[in-house]
Amino acid sequence: MTAEPLLLITDDDLLAQRWQDLAPSPLRARGIDGLDAWRAAGHRLVLVDLGCARGGTAPVWTRPAWQRNASGLAILAASSTPDDDEGLAVLNAGASGYCHSHAPADTLRQALDVIASGELWVGRALLSRLLRLVDTRLPRTGLADWATPLTEREREVAQLAAVGDSNLSIALALGITERTVKAHLKAVFEKLDLSDRLQLALRVHGVR
């Protein structure tokens, strides 16, 4: 359970009840107009039901209240019908995470903890798409810029992971087992002080 104050934004009473135990005494709002006051009070963590935006109105992430405040908040956007295009749009608009609104409570708590720590939370398919976008839009830096502490095999695994290849795809490409791929990735993350594949992609491309 996250210790940070949490703002729940949904007009679905059943969903609000489902989310109620994600944090101690979370505050609920039925729309995003309260984001201004939430940010002004020094709070950051928000769980938004994107279903509030449907029914013929503009998507919630295009509204002024969101655009004024998203950069100062840690927003987990939740959709009952998630898809990659919506996820990319929401993340591009400043959200820190994207998930299914009816994900298990433990998953939602983990997602909130991750975005509260300053990281991103997305599903595997969307993450792979993000990694491929990074790879197509940013030039890769030379190996010396990021790979010096890695072994040759760790470099190979890192490069494939950074463009969105799954563990299975990496294993088949390099003729090793998935278990070995996981071991190499663990070593890569530790040596480069990274926590996920998106950070790895950005490091390989010289962004951080």
* CATH number of 83's domain: 3.40.50.2300
Residue positions counted in the chain: 208
Q: What is the mean pLDDT of residues 101-115?
A: 92
Same domain, 94 and 178: no
Whether 49 maps to a domain, the answer reads: yes
44 is in which domain, residue-wise? 6-135
Query: Of 118, 135, 152, which residue is a domain's last?
Result: 135
Q: Find where tokens 């490069």 sit.
A: 159
Regarding whether 177 and 79 lie in a shared domain, the answer is no
pTM as predicted: 0.70
Where helices occur in 41-174 by DSSP H, the ranges are: 64-69, 84-92, 105-116, 124-137, 152-162, 167-174
Neighbours of 122 (CB within 10 A): 25
Q: Is position 91 within any domain?
A: yes
- The answer to whether residue 156 is domain-embedded is yes
Q: What is the mean pLDDT of residues 170-194?
A: 92
The separation between the first and the last C-alpha atoms of the chain, rounded to the nearest angstrom, is 30
Looking at the structure, do residues 91 and 160 belong to the same domain, yes or no? no
- When pLDDT is cut at 50, 70 and 90, the band that residue 183 belongs to is very high
Q: Extract the tokens encoding 64.
A: 């002024």
Cα separation of 191 and 38, whole Å?
38
In whole angstroms, what is the distance from residue 53 CA to residue 12 CA?
12
CB atoms within 10 A of CB 149: 12
Residue 190 sits in a domain whose CATH number is 1.10.10.10
Q: Which of 91, 109, 135 is the last residue of a domain?
A: 135
Give per-residue pLDDT as tens, 66-76: 989 888 899 99
Q: Determine, yes or no, domain membership for 1.
A: no
Are 80 and 116 in a shared domain?
yes
The residue assigned the tokens 């993450």 is 127
Do 188 and 102 share a domain, yes or no?
no
Structure confidence at residue 166 (pLDDT): 82
Tally the domains of the chain: 2
Residue tagged 């998930």 (tokens): 99
Order of strands, sheet of 6-9, starting from the edge strand that comes earlier in the sequence: 27-29, 6-9, 45-49, 74-79, 97-100
Give, in degrees to the nearest 5, the angle at Cα 30 between 54 and 69. 85
Domain co-membership, 101 together with 153: no
Confidence of residue 147 (pLDDT cuts 50, 70, 90): confident
Per DSSP, the three-state class of 19 is helix
Which residue is it, tokens 């190996």?
A: 143
Domain stops at, among 135, 153, 173: 135
The per-residue pLDDT for 100 is 92
